[in-house]
Amino acid sequence: MMGSIAMAIAVGLLMGIVFGFALEKSRVFEPGMIVGQMQMRNFIMLKVFLTAVATGAVVLAALNGFGFVKLQPKAALYAADVVGGLLLGAGIALAGACPGTTLAQIGVGYRDAIFTLIGGLCGAVAFSYAQPWLAKTLIGSGPKLIFTDLIGIPYWQGAIGLAAILVVVLALMERARSWRKDLGANVDGDTPSASQFKGRMVPAE
């Protein structure tokens, strides 16, 4: 028992290091990237996100299709998904981070991310106190629904289909605007076009 827990912690640490490395190298953990995405002027976050979803779909199509793993979808709880998703999104915009990238920001030395983390821990504790009441009023229960079950085809076919669509979407996005243009001089999403835009707002003397 202890052995399996120690292994889970070691696996978690190693996976986290790879995850954090990829978040830092892609620059997606930068507040400039996340706020820029939510203001629809920087698309690196969406590119990393959709690429990871497509890769995950291909991986899971293989692992599940050949019977190595069971899927672990969350229950469809529409009211909770909408209300929780809206609050989560508002928090992401104001934090310039999501729960996972908050830790990456702390790792590179962003001091405000420490406050995001403390706020996040307080939010999680506040939810725990409210959970018995929220579970009855808002969250409820629901089925673990996946789209391919609704259509009646095997998961792996739907997953490969999703990945194919995402590859086309990403190719079109990249053709419309290269990811290099969204990096900015200090690779923090603080892009030259932002200051040019500001420059245009100032009347010429």
Residues in 40-69 at the binding interface with another protein, rule: CB under 8 A: 40-41, 44, 47-60, 63, 68-69
Q: From the list 66, 67, 129, 205, which residue makes contact with another protein (rule: CB under 8 A)? A: 129
Residue 20 sits in the site that holds another protein (CB under 8 A): yes
Q: From the list 66, 141, 158, 172, which residue makes contact with another protein (rule: CB under 8 A)? A: 158
Q: Which C-beta is closer to another protein: that of 18 or that of 176? A: 18
CB atoms within 10 A of CB 132: 9
Q: Tokens in use for 199?
A: 């420059």
Residue 160 sits in the site that holds another protein (CB under 8 A): no
Query: How far apart are the C-alpha atoms of 18 and 91, rounded to whole Å?
Result: 25
97 touches 45 (CB < 8 A) = no
Residue 165 sits in the site that holds another protein (CB under 8 A): no
48 touches 174 (CB < 8 A) = no
Residue 141 sits in the site that holds another protein (CB under 8 A): no
Q: How far is the CB of 43 from another protein (least distance, A)?
A: 9
Q: From the list 100, 140, 192, 199, which residue makes contact with another protein (rule: CB under 8 A)? A: 100
Residue 128 sits in the site that holds another protein (CB under 8 A): yes
Q: From the list 65, 66, 67, 116, which residue makes contact with another protein (rule: CB under 8 A)? A: 116
Give the distance, in angstroms, between the CA of residue 40 and the centroid of all CA atoms in the same chain: 16
63 touches 72 (CB < 8 A) = no
Q: Tokens in use for 100?
A: 């996972």
Number of residues that bind another protein (CB under 8 A): 139
Category of 140 on φ-ψ map: left (φ > 0), alpha (ψ -120 to 50) or beta: left
